[in-house]
Amino acid sequence: MQVRLAFSVAIQAHGDIYLLDEVLAVGDIAFQQKCFTEFRRLKSEGKTMVFVSHSMGAVEEFCDRVILLDKGSVKDEGGAFEVVKNYTAETLSSQKSVSLKDRKSLISAVKFLDSLLNQTNSFNFNDKMTIRIYFKSKIKILNPIFQIFIVRNDGILVSSIDNKTLNFEINEIKGEGFVDFIIEKIKLYSGTYNINIALFSQDFSNQLVIQENIATFSIFSPLGETQEGIFEIDGVWKTVQDH
């Protein structure tokens, strides 16, 4: 509450330079959204912001130049896009697969594959992506439903996808295996995204297991700040006028 109060006072002070240190780490999603709104306002007004954060999506959106610190030393410095990309690639490559046990069934890991089926956690806008869900089941589960939740790092739910809605039936699972969800062109804008996975029995009658934040991936776009929002919507412009 002290940090929230300090932030509220600071944005009303009408200063020219703002030092914001991990302000996003203390609030709920509603508070974070208010922060984002104020950050955009301050940036549009040409204010100087020194923004300290582990939220790579926010750093990439609000910062023009980034300094990466490691134990007090400068590890990397440059444009937001490149520094975030380097940091994310290094961090995600060192993470181990998450494995959580359940008596009946579980999601053991989630991996991301590129167009050549190489494992990676970093993609460019419009890349092909395969989300591979590994499972283990001690019993036979008939007509299972796998549901994927893609959540942006600020808590915004981007989309939920399940095999039943897309009319892909899985007769049964037992033992170890995996299922793939293939995205031919990933249309998400630059940022970091988390994956939640749920496994249901047939007709969503029983949620057998849910794994939150089981895996993370990042999207990088060469268009940078010209893209605002979450994802691209395909469409065609048309003009009609009288002569």
pLDDT in tens, the chain (243 residues): 666 676 666 666 677 887 877 665 555 556 666 777 777 787 788 888 888 877 766 777 778 889 998 888 899 999 887 887 777 666 645 444 333 344 444 788 999 999 999 999 999 999 999 999 999 888 888 889 999 999 988 788 898 899 988 889 999 998 899 999 999 999 998 888 999 998 887 777 677 888 888 999 999 877 655 567 787 777 888 888 876
What residues have CB less than 8 Å from 100, skipping those under 6 apart? 106, 107, 108, 211
| Superfamily of domain 105-226 in the CATH hierarchy | abc- transporter (atp binding component) like domain (2.70.50.60)
Single-letter amino acid code for the residue at 7: F
Q: Where do the CATH 3.40.50.300 domains begin and end in the chain?
A: 2-93
First to last CA, the chain: 61
Q: Dihedral sign, CA of 193, 194, 195, 196? A: negative
- Looking at the DSSP bridge assignments, the partners of residue 66 are 78
Comma-separated ranges of CATH 2.70.50.60 domains in the chain: 105-226
The class that CATH gives domain 2-93 is: alpha beta
Show the tokens assigned to 42.
């301050």
